[in-house]
Every structure is written in C-alpha cells, then in structure tokens.
Amino acid sequence: MLEAAIFDWDGTLADTRATIILSFQQALKENHIITADISDEYIERRIGIGATKTFREILREIKHPVDESLVKRLVESKSQTQINLKHQIQLFPDVIDVLETLQDKIRLGLASMNNKSVIDAVVNDKGLEKYFQVIVTADAVRQSKPHPEIFLKCAQQLNTLPSKCVVIEDSLFGVKAAKNASMKCIAVTTGAYSKEELEQENPDAVVANLKQAKFLLQSPAFV
C-alpha cells in the first residue's frame, strides 16, 4: 500500500522550461562566458540534474576551467533570474485538483534539483506550500539525479519506506533516480522527453498529464 507521493517540480507540476533556459543563458552572459556552442536544447535536456552539475558540464563542453567559485556565482545568478521570472511560470492543468484530491489520502512531498531559493519563491507564489509535508531541494543533497539521494531523503522525512512511495517525474534523470531508490514511478510527458524515451527507463507507467496520473494513484490495481 502506497503511503506517499513525491512530485518533481520543473516539467512535472510547472511549465518552467522557458524561464530555466533564459536564466541559464543570462547567468552565462552576466559572467562573461562565451556560449555560442551551448544551445537552448543543450540546457533543456539537462533540466533535472541541478544547476551546479549543468554549469560544470557547460564549462567542460566549452573547454573552460571548472572553477567552483565561478560555478557558485553562475548558480546564484541563474537562481536570482529565475526568481525574478516567477510570475511567468504557469502550473500545468489539474495541479491543484490533483494535490487537493491526494492530500487527505497520502503524504505528499516535493523533491526538486532546483535550488531552495527558487523553489521557495515559486511554490509560495503559486500558493502550493500548504500541500507538501516535505520539500527537499538541491541544497539538501550531495548527489544529483539520477542518484536516488533526493528521493530517499524525502521518503525519510515523510517517515515512510521507499517501497511505499511513488514518484511523479518528467525527466529521464528523475525516473532513473526513482527506480534507483526502489520506488514506484509515474512518468509524465510534460517535460523535455518523449513517451518513447521515458519508457526506456522502465517507469511503472507513462502518462500524458497529471490528471491521468491522479487516476492511476486512485486505482487499487496500481497502489
């Protein structure tokens, strides 16, 4: 019997793709990093692993020294830009309905590799903080998805076993992390990845949207 549902944020509950890409590109520009070879798609396909890891990969890609003080400045700049753009972020359809339906039936957690400052700002702006008993962000873990650390920490704080958790994710990294944590996983195709790509990571189900995920979570056959 499932006891907890753990949601990702970017691409799962909220359409943040445009603001993430803009905030990464702006941070690179502000720090005078030449990024002619770093396309929007390059950034988009890394949503879910966290800003720190993404900036390290970008610096390696353009043969720039990976200076951790520079990485820290880039992350801070990216985070501030995304916070400034919070009003442009739209929740996906049915988010409120899904959370309200589930909150009295199952424990709810949010586990995002975005930074705490960003998640706090956007979740509060959308009025969603009341739905989650636990929120875990990149600042609280050492390892990025697809490592399972963030989901395991969320389960621990929800006071439940991994085997009694289901993760709702949109990215390949997130699905891998959920399976590495020995949790059930519902993948949604609202992020940067196709149904076929997500299916290759063997989630328990792939759905088009959160409404379909809600039906699964209410199905005795699934839980």
Domain(s) of CATH 1.10.150: residues in the chain: 17-87
Task: Classify domain 17-87 at the CATH class level.
Answer: mainly alpha
Chain centroid to Cα 96, Å, comes to 18
Q: Tell me the fold of 4-15+89-217.
A: Rossmann fold (3.40.50)
| Residue 14: other Cβ atoms inside 10 A | 22
Look up residue 152 and give its two tokens.
Answer: 């395991």
Contacts of 79 (CB under 8 A, 6+ apart): 23, 51, 115, 117, 118
- Pseudo-torsion of CA 134, 139, 142, 143, nearest 10°? 70
Strand segments (E) across 175-215: 184-188, 205-207
For the chain, how far is it from start to end, CA to CA, in angstroms?
Answer: 6
Non-local (6+) Cβ contacts of 120 within 8 A are none
Residues of the chain with CATH 3.40.50.1000: 4-15+89-217
In the predicted model, what is the mean pLDDT of the chain? 96
Element (H or E) spanning 108, and its range?
strand 107-111
- For residue 34, the model assigns a pLDDT of 77
* CA distance linking residue 105 with residue 99, whole number of Å: 10
Q: What's the Cα-to-Cα distance from 192 to each of 29, 41, 57, 184, rounded to whole Å? A: 24, 9, 18, 21
pLDDT of residue 55: 97
Stretches where the chain sits below pLDDT 70 are 223
